[in-house]
Structure 1
Amino acid sequence: MKYQLIPVTPFQQNCSLIWCEQTMKAAVVDPGGNVERILEQASKNNLVIEKVLLTHGHIDHVGGAKLLADQLNVPIIGPHKADDYWLESLPKQSQHFGFVHCDAFTPTQYLEEGDEVTVGQQVLKVIHTPGHTPGHIVFFAKESKVAWVGDVLFRGSIGRTDFPLSNHQDLIDSITQKLWPLGNDVQFIPGHGPLSTFGDERVQNPFVADQLFV
């Protein structure tokens, strides 16, 4: 599976354009905004976007989802239904964070733990990872050993848990019990900042390094 990072919104959120090289079918993960930039990159790569994928309901990850999906007539898939609180509050989120107004919306399909999503001939496994938000999910491409983790984990840090419905212990459990077993060699794309691997974070991340739990 191929991917290209497209930083969007003033928060420099790592939107991802991902695609299957066999079919050139693509998906967009977390289009928080700057829809024109996303479409431009898809065109440059000769890709056909067939769906929008969401890790969670915060506006910097979903602010452009409805516009993109409507423009292309494609479904919005994810996150888990527990994030409907955040999707319903998008008008308030846009005002609070200084974004262009964003209407609430309901995804075409919510996702559950163990679901699979296809992008062309490629398969993404869905992992429910609550903590940052209650309905946060991770998309894992097993064959490519790449995970799109949204705001669960960052290089040297973890997601915030000071939002409504956040839970710090749930976040720690999601990382250590659901992400680490995927393998130390898995590269992850966080919602913000540089990429890393689970193995590196297990050694050096000051919030979830293995030595903290001995």
Structure 2
Amino acid sequence: MPIKLGIVPVTPFEQNCSILVCQETGDAAIVDPGGDIPKILEGVKQMGGTVKKILLTHGHLDHCAAAKDLSEQLHVPIEGPQIDERFWIDQLPEQTERFGFGHAKVFEPDRWLNDGDHVKVGNVDLEVFHCPGHTPGHVVFFDKEDRLALVGDVLFAGSIGRTDFPRGNHADLINAIKTKLWPLGDDVQFVPGHGPMSTFGAERLSNPYVGDNA
């Protein structure tokens, strides 16, 4: 397998910040750094990668509040999410103060991502899927070779993302999961934004919201 995966729970919300390392090149990406920068950097050190970029699934504070500070500290670009997430990123200072996260900087990603785009981490190719519903500009990253998806708050083991936030849409979320994620294959493992990993096949069997019998 050319990719190595590490998961570091961060913030009071126990958000899964993922570290991806291309085993062929040593290039690494940090996915959804919501906070706890020293903890994230310690995870990178233990994995032995050199961070080349930061990837974001969406603009909620527990997934991106530390993105700008980390980008400046490491001198690396931020890629993602989709441009409709500007709605949430612009609110970061207010949201982080409200939830006791300290202060987060508003930022403009170096690259907004769209459905069908590709992101490289060393020699690893990640395909981008725009999966709105939890938030309007949420994206999912998919490594076809390693059968691994990083789905943020779209899908969880036994559940799905909330859609009661501003600009959330339950029907859009269900549609994105069933038409964009399920066709990727039952064998695909996924890292959710919170909680344990699962597979698309397991969720199709038993997830009460998007399972085949739901």
- Normalization by structure 2: what TM-score? 0.98
Shift >6 Å, 4+ stretches: none
Alignment partner, residue 175 of structure 1: 177
Unaligned runs of 5+ in 2: none
Alignment partner, residue 188 of structure 1: 190
The residue identity in structure 1 corresponding to 2:55 is L
Conserved 8 A contact 2:154-2:173? yes
Alignment partner, residue 150 of structure 2: 148
Q: 1:48 aligns with which of 47, 50, 53?
A: 50
The farther-off stretch of 15-24 and 97-106 is 97-106
Alignment partner, residue 92 of structure 2: 90
User: In structure 2, how many angstroms separate the alpha carbons of the residues matched to 1:137 and 1:25?
Assistant: 22
User: In structure 1, how many angstroms separate the alpha carbons of the residues matched to 2:23 and 2:129?
Assistant: 24
Unaligned runs of 5+ in 1: none
The residue identity in structure 2 corresponding to 1:173 is N
**What is the correspondence of 1:69-148 to structure 2 with a 5 Å cutoff?**
69-148=71-150
Q: Matched residue of 1:19: which SS?
A: strand
User: In structure 2, how many angstroms separate the alpha carbons of the residues matched to 1:21 and 1:136?
Assistant: 27
Give the superposed CA RMSD.
0.7
1:113-143 per-position Cα deviation (integer Å, ceiling 9, x unaligned): 0000000011000000000000000000000
Q: Matched residue of 1:211: which SS?
A: coil
User: In structure 2, how many angstroms separate the alpha carbons of the residues matched to 1:73 and 1:168?
Assistant: 37
User: In structure 1, how many angstroms separate the alpha carbons of the residues matched to 2:43 and 2:93?
Assistant: 28
Alignment partner, residue 160 of structure 2: 158
User: In structure 2, how many angstroms separate the alpha carbons of the residues matched to 1:44 and 1:199?
Assistant: 31
Conserved 8 A contact 2:118-2:126? yes
